[in-house]
Amino acid sequence: DGCIKAVGQADVIRNEFSEAVFERIIDCSGKCVLPGLVDAHTHPVWAGDRVHEFAMKLAGASYMEIHQAGGGIHFTVEHTRKATEDELFTGLQQRLGRMLRAGSTLVECKSGYGLNLETELKMLRVIERARKSTDIGISSTYCGAHAVPKGKTATEATDDIINNHLPKLKELKLSGEIHVNNIDVFCEKGVFDLESTRRILQAGKDIGLQINFHGDELHPMKSAELGAELGARAISHLEEVSDEGIVAMAKAKCAAVLLPTTAYMLRLKQPPARKMLEEGVIVALGSDFNPNAYCFSMPMVMHLACVNMKMSMNEALAAATINAAYALGKSDTHGSLEVGKQGDLLIINSSRWEHLIYQFGGHESLINYVIVKGKVIYENERCETMSSY
């Protein structure tokens, strides 16, 4: 059934299953078996890359300066609106394939480059197609409040989402046409303020969506306090979170999805991971894959978390597996190797799992097998002919 039947010492397992017949046996001598990685925050559906903006950033332009010059999210929105559903689906399939080969077996996927009902639904349909047709696990997020559409105020955009987008989403959810798990808002100065964010998140919660939103990234907005109050499952970014917000999240068991790639690429201050861990916050990691932070690899995210956010390798592994699964409301089925959980695992070509983090960018030769629901879906022949050291 794709679930783990037994976990334990080799000799005990051999005795227990001595009479069993297996379709396939993989020799893992000198190798490590790990849970499949979970990427708790991605924006993988879009058209039109922003490689030209990377040059602007390197020359010193800030995120908001690029945004105000018609770049950033609005550039991607324009291209995504023009793209066909098939074009978007092809792009998403290729990106998910790259994530899978880097060890991710469960990925959160957001809409949010439509900013109108028609394109947001187009993106969610693309995510739904991928959910049904690809091996990788998907948690789907409606992120219609990713930016304020041109020609609208934040209040008008909020009203449109609450009065038009969410009722339509509820209807499509009930008919089984689209499965959406989470609701997201970019709570930020000059985007959606605290009150608009509260209204949208509450309306999403009312139709059965988990709250999982962008908060306290560029300015302290008291997003963490709001999330804790609304019973949010997770909040992402949190570079500018307050001490009170950290305490509130710990009490509310609201996960912090930290995105070391974003702070690295935008040269922001890193989120206070150590302080969160000391206060007992459930810390998860995500790649934030999007045209602004182009990274598919959770092993690289874990490496950056250790170096730049001062997490230990054990903390980073937990944050990219069981805690990231928790942030998506899936820790009962994903994120660890336990009896009854889904058989999602990695086999790496090293006797020490730490090589997955230590070898920055080395995952392409380290990840030997990716297994989802007990089936090998990626096998890396290069590992058979080379030592990982």
Residue with structure tokens 């069993």? 20
Residue type at position 155: T
Q: Do 233 and 329 form a contact (C-beta atoms < 8 A)? A: yes
The residue that leads in pLDDT, 170 or 67, is 170
Query: For 144-165, what is each residue's pLDDT tens digit?
Result: 999 999 999 999 999 999 999 9
- Report how far residue 143's alpha carbon sits from residue 124's, in angstroms, rounded to the nearest whole number: 10
Query: For 171-196, what is each residue's pLDDT tens digit?
Result: 999 999 999 999 999 999 999 999 99
Kindly report the CATH class assigned to 35-47+83-328: alpha beta
Contacts of 284 (CB under 8 A, 6+ apart): 38, 40, 234, 255, 256, 257, 258, 319, 320, 323, 324, 326, 327
Output the furthest CA–CA distance in the chain (Å, rounded). 69
> Span 337-365, mean pLDDT?
96
Tell me which residue of 174, 205, 184, 217 sits closest to 108, measured CA to CA: 184
Is this prediction's pTM over 0.85?
A: yes
Identify the H or E element spanning 162: none
Contacts of 26 (CB under 8 A, 6+ apart): 347, 369, 376
Task: Check residue 388 and give its pLDDT.
Answer: 52
Tell me which residue of 325, 356, 360, 351 sits closest to 137, measured CA to CA: 325
Task: Check residue 326 and give its pLDDT.
Answer: 98
Residue with structure tokens 């050291």? 389
Residue 64 has pLDDT above 90, yes or no: no
> Span 49-67, mean pLDDT?
87
Sequence ranges of the chain with CATH classification 3.20.20.140: 35-47+83-328
Q: Do 276 and 247 form a contact (C-beta atoms < 8 A)? A: no
